Amino acid sequence: MQTRHFFQLIGLSALWGASFLFIRISSPVFGPLVLAGLRVGLATLTLLFLMKGLKQGWPWAYWRELFLLGALSVAVPFLFYAWAALRLPAGYSALLNTTAVVFGTLSSSWMKEDTLTTQKLVGCLLGFAGVALILQLGPVTLNNATIAAALACLTASACYGISTPLMKRATKRMQPLAIAAGIHAAALLLILPGAVWALPQAQFTWTAMGAVAVMGVVTSGLAYWAHLRIIRHVSPVAAMSPVFLVPVFGVTWGHLLLGEELSSGIFLGGALVLMACALVTGFNPFRQRGPASASI
């Protein structure tokens, strides 16, 4: 992996880690449906202006593929994480998000976009063990509500993982900006009816509106475009490598800005999850690579 890709992935990790903080702030105010709708809508507008400014056309011929990718990588994850934020701290959601690497590794192998090795299988087992440890020893009481929220996070992570190799394939036919705009527009059409239905129950505060503005413009619109640009040059599993850095930022932002409690379960379980992600990706930015392997 090239150095510039590595630092770009670190930047994405910081942005996506902060998004869990913003979701935690805004979801109780707007409600999950309205939050997801506002976030996707702002991202779509941002990418629309970029498309117009760069004079790129919409990939109408691939609308079926874009709707599938929009559902898997935007609509379902945004909605499920917003719902889970009503019951789980931001750090929890960020840690559970790392299982996307496990799901992505398995789906990439099944789609013949990557190979499944013993090391990656061990990593998958460690990842699920880490999640179980987080839920068992963390500061949140384990009950039906928190279990349901954790399952929602795992479902969202599975969607992210499954969609990544599909995104890689899409970059061979479409430009990254067109894909990012197309999937957000498709997701908006899917979420909009529910968001309109839930709008009367939503509240609006300056803090929540600021949080959703940052999510829509930066962590969704611009970040998805940047990530798709990287996906064109690396393998699907390597493209998910920022996922195992997201918890570092997610837990840090949640603790510093929201006062979320830290516990042994988060540290021990988080360490297992991060170790699992390192095993399944084989990602090591400090490894010396020869000229032939400058990029993945």
* Six token digits for residue 169: 């394939």
Looking at residue 291, its pLDDT comes to: 40
Q: With 90 as the cut, is the pLDDT of residue 201 above it?
A: yes
Note the pLDDT of residue 194: 96
Q: What is the pLDDT of residue 142?
A: 72
Q: Is a pLDDT exceeding 90 seen at residue 269?
A: no
Mean pLDDT value of segment 68-80: 96
Domain assignment present for 239: yes
The candidate with the shortest Cα–Cα distance to 250, out of 111, 136, 118, 134, is 134
Kindly state the average pLDDT of the residues 46-52.
95
User: Is residue 288 situated within a structural domain?
Assistant: no
- Between 94 and 131, name the one with better pLDDT: 94
Q: Give the separation between CA 228 and CA 191, rounded to whole angstroms.
A: 22
The answer to whether position 274 is within a domain reads: yes
Please tell me the total count of domains within the chain.
Answer: 1
Residue 177 banded pLDDT, cuts 50, 70, 90: very high
How much is the mean pLDDT over the chain?
Answer: 81
For the stretch 142-161, pLDDT in tens is 788 888 998 999 999 999 98
Residue 99 lies in a domain: yes
- Whether residue 295 contacts residue 1, with contact meaning beta carbons closer than 8 Å, is answered with yes
pLDDT (0 to 100) of residue 135: 58
Per residue in 81-126, pLDDT (tens digit) is 999 999 887 777 877 887 887 788 788 778 876 676 777 778 777 7
Residue 291 in any domain: the answer is no
Q: Is the residue at 293 inside a domain? A: no
Confirm whether 52 is domain-assigned.
yes
pLDDT for residue 10 = 67
pLDDT for the residue numbered 226: 86
pLDDT recorded at residue 108: 78
Sign (positive or negative) of CA dihedral 4, 7, 9, 15: negative
Q: What percent of the chain has pLDDT over 70?
A: 73
Quick one: pLDDT band at residue 32, thresholds 50, 70, 90? very high
- Residue 174 is part of which domain span? 3-283
Stretch 216-237: mean pLDDT, rounded? 84
Residue 296 falls inside a structural domain: no
C-alpha span between 272 and 140 (Å, rounded): 19
